[in-house]
Amino acid sequence: MKYIQKIIYNKSQIKNILPHRDPFLFIDEINELGEDYIIGTKHVNEDEYYFKGHFPGAPVMPGVLQLETMAQAGGVLILSTVENPQDYLTYFLKIDNAKFKKKVVPNEKIIFHLKLISPIRRGLCHMHGKGYVNEKIVVEADLLAQILRK
């Protein structure tokens, strides 16, 4: 999986789409956005707050936060389909088939690829996502989300 990185949305621009804020905004960049897919990046910095306790002396990014970051990239995909995305929220209803293939440690970069499994209907979005570090899958899952007006 060769990938030429460009930035469509930086973290500031993502804040115009997603309601998340620090310390819970994890996705750093959106690199590609199509009608049925999105690619986003998380820079795993050594000063992330969760590394203090997960685990001292052997820091690992928690799997649940990898899934949350994937979900945030998916949220950008979903909200890109509506006018005035700031007037909507996405709620994840289900996560299936989550797999963690390799630990993620400080100073790595996770590139998330999410693709729609089926078209968005009645505000429901079903996606399959994978996260890659150095072109190797570290996490994958199927996500079901709902978009609702605030």
107 and 45 Cβ atoms separated by less than 8 Å: yes
Q: Which of 54, 113, 126, 128 is catalytic?
A: 54
Peptide bond into 26 cis (omega under 30): no
Strand segments (E) across 9-135: 29-33, 37-43, 88-100, 109-116, 124-133
The angle subtended at Cα 58 by Cα 55 and Cα 62, nearest 5°, is: 50
Instruction: Name the token pair of 25.
Output: 């905004």
105 and 29 Cβ atoms separated by less than 8 Å: no
Instruction: Name the token pair of 60.
Output: 């690992």
Q: Check if 54 is active-site.
A: yes
User: How long is the chain?
Assistant: 150
Kindly list the catalytic residues: 54
